[in-house]
Structure formats: C-alpha cells, structure tokens
Copies of this chain bind each other. A is one copy, B any other.
C-alpha cells in the first residue's frame, strides 16, 4: 500500500462511524474523541450578526478564513454578503479557490521563487489580491502576472507599529503604491492595516488608546498615497474581532477582516466590546475521561495535539461539575480538576470545553462535527487544515 493511501485510508473508520450518527437523538455525545464540535445555531447567529453590523455601519466585510479554514463556512459568509475572503497563505488561498470562492485577498507578503511558481499555478477565476510590503515582492509578482497574463490586485501593507509586516513609513508606502500603479499587470487596490497586537487588549479604554496611535500611522500613509496618486484610495482593509468598535469608529476603513467572531473563542470572549454585537461561543473540543484513578482529578484524551494553548486552557462547559478546570498534561492528555476534591468522574465520561484560540486549534482537526442541540447534524471537513 502506498504511503499516500495509508494517510488517507486511516480516516475511514471515524468517517463511517460518524456518518452513521447523523440525525440520531443524543448523537453529540456518541462521537469518537477528541472531536471538534461546531454549534451551527450559534455559528449562523454570529455570521448574521456580523453581516448586519457591517451593513448597518456601511462598511464591507471580508472575513478572514484563517480562523475557520472551511469552504462551507466561507460560503455561508459569502451568502450573507461578504465581499470576499482573506487567506493567510497561498495554500489556504488554493483551498478556497478550488472551493469556488473567487474573491480572495492573501494578507501576508510572499517571497522567493517557489512561492512565485505556486502563485502562477493558482486556479484563479475571479479576483486575487496580495498584500505586499516591498518593491522586491511587487516586482516578482508583476513578473508572474505578466507571464500568466493575469491581472493581480495589490494592497500596500502598512505596519501599525508592530514590526511584523508592512511598510515602515509613509515614504515607503508611497514608493510601493507608485511602483504597483506603474506595473502593467498589477492593480493598486488600496492598503491593508492590521493591528494584531491590539486585538486581545481586554479593557475597552486601553484598547482605544492602543488603536488610536496606529490610526495616526494609517491616516498619514493614506494622505501621502492619495496625494501622490491624485485620487482617493479605493480599499482600506483591516481590523479584527477584538478592535471592530474602534476600527468602525475611526472612519478610516472601507472593509473589515474580522475572522474569529464566527467561533468567539475564549480569548476573544475576554475582550470588552460594549458597542458591538454579542457573539456566542460556537466551537468546542469534546474529550473523554480515559483514566480515573486519582481523587479529585481525572485524565482526558485531549492535549497539545488537539488544542493550541497560547490562548490559555479550554473553559469546561459540560460533562463535569461547574468549577471543573482543564490542565495541560502532554501531547495527548489533559487533566480535569474537580471542584469537590474528594469526587471523581466515570471512565468514558464526555466533557466539552470552549476552544481557547480558534485558528491554530482548528488546524489540528480534519473535521467539524456540526451539532444542533445534542444532535450531530452534519460533518464538514476543515479543508485547509495542515495547509502551510
């Protein structure tokens, strides 16, 4: 048996078993664990709330697909009026293009021969845009566009003071915009501004202070580019679930790149947002007690291989008494500490916790097990899981 066949054949049992549970009463708790649970009622509500919020505020929505990596969820967002999707990488973009989403913005710069060859190979049908922050990248992408006889949209990425990606100052932003403007197969679409460091500032006041200093940078860059081009910049894209109130209030953006609102992970739940819609957590990890030989503590089958812990531990919401907490115990194991130190839980007990940080956790699973109430109703692949 070839190696590739081995990799894919091993999904057989889980898939067949879980297909057989769809539509059966109580099937949510019959899954093989660990499993990624998606509450469709809450997901749909979150998608509708954000779509409505953007429409009410007269701003476009281009959700970031790196949060969900799912063509099915991307299609739902498009049906609710999203102008397109964001992807983080070429591999992610390829997934969504193959899935029929034809307006994609790749939000991180690319470089090098291999990525340029990959760009040339993408199955583009509608509009593909790239966010870039250097003349080298713009020239290389222009060459790909020329050779493949395509027109590629370019967004000038502006560093909000993080030092991660983006042009370092307004002069560099103008130089890049003018270079793109002059390149025959590139289209200067606008600018991107994503203040990743302000997203998780929990207190609204502190977050407003942090974002304000970034908006000054954005405003200066926009002014300089508009003066050099002699026209308004068409698209100003950026912002996220954490800063959406400030982003909209700033009046600077034409579209919002929020992603995590679809799941409302524990990290974003901790962020005060009094003026924006109340999103609900829709994504959970389902784990099971596999060892129960301790007093006041049991061991479950979900660890670092199933959860990204950079956003903290999952918040236990079902299957264990209120006040139970999850603790990390290695690649495949976690502990559940029980509030009554003399109690235990039965071997085989199913426990669910809210995902702490959605993007890197979703990347670890092959499938969403979609539920309504206590019933498994659909299974959706995480199409871009493991796509680099």
* A113 partner residues in chain B, CB cutoff 8 A: 30, 348
Q: Is A293's CB within 8 Å of the partner chain B?
A: yes
Contact A388 B304 (CB under 8 A): no
The distance in angstroms between the C-alpha atoms of A294 and B165, with both chains bound, is 9
Interface string of A308-326 (1 = CB under 8 A from B): 1110000000000000000
Contact B290 A108 (CB under 8 A): yes
Q: How large is the interface on A (under 10, 10 to 19, 20 to 34, 35 or more residues)?
A: 35 or more
The one of B4, B164, B348, B380 that contacts A112, using a Cβ cutoff of 8 Å: B348
* A308 partner residues in chain B, CB cutoff 8 A: 304
Q: Is A383's CB within 8 Å of the partner chain B?
A: yes
| Given A294-B168, A366-B386; A13-B333 close (CB under 8 Å) | no
Q: Is A89's CB within 8 Å of the partner chain B?
A: yes
The one of B3, B305, B329, B365 that contacts A381, using a Cβ cutoff of 8 Å: B3
Q: Is A247's CB within 8 Å of the partner chain B?
A: no
* A289 partner residues in chain B, CB cutoff 8 A: 111
Contact A165 B291 (CB under 8 A): yes
- Looking at the complex, which of A130-138, A180-188, A265-273 is the stretch in contact with chain B? A130-138
Residue among A100, A290, A330, A359 having the largest count of chain B Cβ atoms under 10 Å: A290
Q: What are 19 A-B pairs at a CB distance below 8 A?
A: A3-B380, A3-B381, A4-B381, A6-B99, A31-B114, A33-B115, A108-B332, A111-B288, A112-B288, A115-B288, A134-B291, A163-B335, A164-B333, A166-B291, A168-B294, A305-B360, A305-B388, A364-B386, A366-B386
Additional A-B contacts beyond A7-B384, A305-B363, A363-B364 (16; CB < 8 A): A6-B95, A7-B385, A10-B384, A10-B387, A14-B91, A30-B114, A66-B331, A113-B348, A134-B293, A136-B348, A137-B347, A163-B299, A172-B293, A304-B308, A306-B388, A365-B386
A interface with B by C-beta (< 8 Å):
1, 3-4, 6-10, 13-14, 17, 30-35, 66, 71-72, 88-89, 91, 94-95, 98-100, 108-115, 117-118, 121, 133-134, 136-137, 159, 163-168, 172, 196, 288-294, 297, 299, 301, 304-306, 308-310, 329-333, 335, 346-348, 350, 359-360, 363-366, 380-381, 383-388
